[in-house]
Amino acid sequence: MPESIQGSDPHTHADAIVEPVGDPITERRIAEDLLAVSEVRYRRLFEAARDGILILSKNTLRITDVNPFMLELLGYPRAYFIGKELWEIGIFRDKAASQSAMDKLLENGFIRFEDLPLKDHNGKLHPVEIVANVYQENDTPVIQCNIRDIGERVGFERERAALQVVEHSSRMEAQRASAAKDRFLATLSHELRTPLTPVLATLSTWEVSADLPEAMRRDAQMLRRNIELEARLIDDLLDVTRIMKGKLSLNLELTDLNDILTSVAGIVRSDIQAKHIHFTLQLNAQSHFVNGDPARLHQVVWNLLKNAAKFTPEKGSITLVTANEADGSVTLTITDSGTGIPPDLIERIFEPFEQGDGPFIQHFGGLGLGLAIAKALVNAHGGSIDASSEGTNKGATFVVQLPTVEAPEKTQIPAPFPPPQVAGRSLSILLVEDHVDSATVMGRLLTKIGHQVQIAHTVTKALSLAQQHSFDLLLSDIGLPDGNGIDLLGKLRALGPIPAIALTGYGMDEDIAQCRAAGFRAHLTKPVNFRKLQEVLVEFAESLPEVNLA
């Protein structure tokens, strides 16, 4: 090794030496110096490497050199390695395995083994990765084996695998816990709802009983309203459980959003009027048909309007406006002049169990589920829902955007609702519905479109009405306080033939099947889409023989 280079930086030297000189002797000197530099470089790498390096003769397959790290790794002196074949230091199981690896190496010029166990002088196994290749050293072919201790990496991988097992089992545990919680919520909701049914039934019976003193009748109404509210909260809990479990299913059909909005506006109107709130409904959207679940869309709009009415003080204002966007979607914007929503709350408002604070919220109660459910439902329809507010006491705006679909042929020129004249024939209808407000609104609308309607909230009342009048049609709820619509139809048929249409709650598939089996001609999902009801009635009236008409 030339004196001049030893101990200095070979790289700087190499660069300094390369100068264009024409003299052949000088050029040879330069070439020799460069070679020496590269040898130093290589030696330094060999000595300092943190991989074990073995040099083997290609002819004998025996070790001719070993670097310090290899000695350190296995704890043997240099003499232990020199002259041995790889299998003799434990890299391969036996001579045959070693030979086959070497054959492969000589054939391909390269071999690699990922995870070989290599024993040190204490008998401890080190997982190693071995890469070997063949190259020329001064015209002599040699084999270089690089041996990397992958103990740390393997340890890390094992640790990661162990962590994954732990993580997997805690995930399974969390899933089990969540399934148990879901089951609990479902059972709890059912258990909480069940006792309300007879209470409601009793109250409804009291409300219709003629000999109840007026003050008690008012009390009974108050009790019923509160119990219905309780039932609604329980339904919300069930809905949230369904949403969290991803079990929310929609019964999609061609739905006229205008019908939904008109219907909900009718239902919340009494709350709005009671507070002397100025309410404006502007159905501006030309394209207002969606592929939607009418009951669920009804629920969304009802929730938003109910909140607007709840959080708007006396003599405030609420507007509900629809419009079409450039992409053809429809937006419904509900703006109120109420308490508004502070900026920190508005970010969380669609999360379950999130409510504002302050006496106002405590006064009105609620579970903070309505908007979470509304958002899940709107999203399931491929739409979006957003809230904005300028801040406390500056009112709030909720915007629901839904994709639209083409209007059906026959409604391409939208008919005002309810239609101005009787569509089809005038029918004498027995409407049986225990939800008094819904019954009243439905009765009013049916009357408006030219039918004669008698309302019963119970089976008992329906039977007594049927004994006094003859009806063309029974329009009946299935779950009634003192029985069910199926039994009612059976009893009415004992008095004489009567066609029937059932009104069912959402998701009650088994009820629907039973209704069909019991002889109901059709069923409508509650809350009822009035346009659809009207269509069913027109169809039905047209199918009646002349003699049956009143």
Piece in contact with ligand ADP (CB under 6 A), picked from 73-81, 292-300, 336-344, 530-538: 336-344
Judged by DSSP in three states, 315 sits in coil
Q: Which is nearer to ligand ADP, 33 or 239 (CB)?
A: 239
Q: Which is nearer to ligand ADP, 107 or 357 (CB)?
A: 357
* Cβ at position 350, least distance to ligand ADP in Å: 8
Q: Which is nearer to ligand ADP, 366 or 443 (CB)?
A: 366
* Cβ at position 330, least distance to ligand ADP in Å: 21
Among 128, 237, 285, 341, binds ligand ADP (CB under 6 A): 341
* Cβ at position 396, least distance to ligand ADP in Å: 4
Q: Which is nearer to ligand ADP, 372 or 474 (CB)?
A: 372
Q: Which is nearer to ligand ADP, 196 or 367 (CB)?
A: 367
* Cβ at position 203, least distance to ligand ADP in Å: 24
Strand duo 473-477 + 500-504: pairing: parallel
Asked if 425 and 312 touch (Cβ cutoff 8 Å), the reply is no
Task: Considering only residues 381 through 440, tell me which ones interact with ligand ADP, judged by CB under 6 A.
Answer: 396
Asked if 510 and 229 touch (Cβ cutoff 8 Å), the reply is no
Can you tell me the distance from the alpha carbon of 51 to that of 70, in angstroms, rounded to the nearest whole number?
A: 7
Strand duo 289-292 + 253-256: pairing: antiparallel
Task: Considering only residues 284 through 303, tell me which ones interact with ligand ADP, judged by CB under 6 A.
Answer: 303
Q: Which is nearer to ligand ADP, 107 or 344 (CB)?
A: 344
Kindly state the number of chain residues that form the binding site for ligand ADP, as judged by CB under 6 A: 22
* Cβ at position 279, least distance to ligand ADP in Å: 14
* Cβ at position 196, least distance to ligand ADP in Å: 18
* Cβ at position 309, least distance to ligand ADP in Å: 9
Q: Which is nearer to ligand ADP, 146 or 339 (CB)?
A: 339
Q: Which is nearer to ligand ADP, 366 or 418 (CB)?
A: 366
**To which residue do tokens 């049927």 refer?**
466
Q: How many CA atoms lie within 13 A of 464 on its CB side?
A: 8
316 touches ligand ADP (CB under 6 A): no
Helix, strand and coil content of the chain, in percent to the nearest 5, comes to 50, 20, 30
Task: Considering only residues 6 through 65, tell me which ones interact with ligand ADP, judged by CB under 6 A.
Answer: none
Q: How many CA atoms lie within 13 A of 304 on its CB side?
A: 32
* Cβ at position 416, least distance to ligand ADP in Å: 29
Asked if 501 and 540 touch (Cβ cutoff 8 Å), the reply is yes
DSSP 416-466: PSS-SS--S---EEEEE-S-HHHHHHHHHHHHHTT-EEEEESSHHHHHHHH
Sheet holding 428-432, edge to edge: 452-456, 428-432, 473-477, 500-504, 522-525
Short-list 482, 485, 391, 380, CA closest to 430: 485
Site track 349-388 with ligand ADP (rule: CB under 6 A), x = hit: x----xxx----x----xxxxxxx----------------
With 0-12 / 13-18 / 19 or more C-beta atoms within 10 angstroms meaning exposed / middle / buried, residue 176 is: exposed
Piece in contact with ligand ADP (CB under 6 A), picked from 50-58, 116-124, 265-273, 331-339: 331-339
With 0-12 / 13-18 / 19 or more C-beta atoms within 10 angstroms meaning exposed / middle / buried, residue 224 is: buried
The H or E element containing residue 104 is helix 95-108
Neighbours of 372 (CB within 10 A): 21
307 touches ligand ADP (CB under 6 A): yes
Nearest residue to ligand ADP, scored by beta-carbon proximity: 366
Piece in contact with ligand ADP (CB under 6 A), picked from 1-9, 169-177, 255-263, 307-315: 307-315
Binding site for ligand ADP (CB under 6 A): 303, 307-308, 311, 336, 338-341, 349, 354-356, 361, 366-372, 396
